[in-house]
Structure 1
Amino acid sequence: MGEVKARIGVYPGTFDPITLGHMDIIRRGAKLVDKLVIGVTTNIAKSPMFSDEERLEMVRRECAGIDAEIVVTGFNSLLMDFAEAQGASIIVRGLRAVADFEYEYQMAGMNQQINGRVETVFLMADVCLQPIASRLVKEIALYGGPIDKFVGPMVRDEVVARVEKLGRKGG
């Protein structure tokens, strides 16, 4: 028999900032593959709070304690081109709600048309983590609200420091 090919998955996102919901999907997604590549990208439709390099470092640090082969890298291309370059056969996506599903279903269909060799796997977020969204974490932080339940302690400190640097909205 030939050599068994490692199963590689890609989990793409902006991770601005990385949340406990992201971490849940990373931990669970890593169990499905031999190697999980976390692709940190910039969504041009979003204005990030943190630079590409800051987000890469944040994700690397948060994933350091996970007992799995995880590689964190940036990308700025079509997801399917990135997946192909990584040798991935699986795209891991997290779902929080029906609205997520509609968007992700459309994206998976488009990606299937671009590259039928890569499957999209959806993981439902843990029930207690379903409402968490980076966008809402940033909004709560900008108004001085507590974000402890949504992000890890070091990420919380980084978000709070960035908000202080930007000047809080609330007053």
Structure 2
Amino acid sequence: MSAAASTPSPEWVRPISIPIADRLLATTYLVLRRSGLRARACRRTCRKALPGLSAEDRPAGRRIRPEDFAALRLRLGRKGRSVRFDAAVDEALLLDAMLSLPPRQRFVVRSAVTGHWSVTDIAAQTGWTRGQVHTLLRAGLKTLATQGAPGGRLTSFSW
């Protein structure tokens, strides 16, 4: 047994489980704010639009899809902001896909993308091998590219 396998996992490796209703609320608010609405208008719109986005009958592990925001788009009725709205939906879907990654993949992808850590840096920090880190990074980026945005618009990652 290797030394890395015998040590207990750190707290950040524990999986997180966020109920679909909370994820919908958070992503809806994010989309509204990124679309240009003020915080007060976002809260008001969320209260009115979320019954249309009801998640009580959906399974907890379900992914948030672009169709979930169709009612919100109709409620907003802002044709001039459709590009900003679409970009905000893509960002919210990417965030939801990132949260749904397994904890180790999420840590590796976040460290590499936002922290600009190399595979060697991540391996040294975590005690995993470079091969494990590389595999986790490739799998995480592939998942984000296929599930993070509709139409595969994130396929420009090079791996």
TM-score in terms of structure 2 length: 0.24
* Bigger relative contact order, structure 1 or 2 (CA pairs below 8 A, ≥6 apart): 1
TM-score in terms of structure 1 length: 0.23
- More strand, by proportion: 1
Greater Rg, structure 1 or structure 2? Answer: 2
- More helix, by proportion: 2
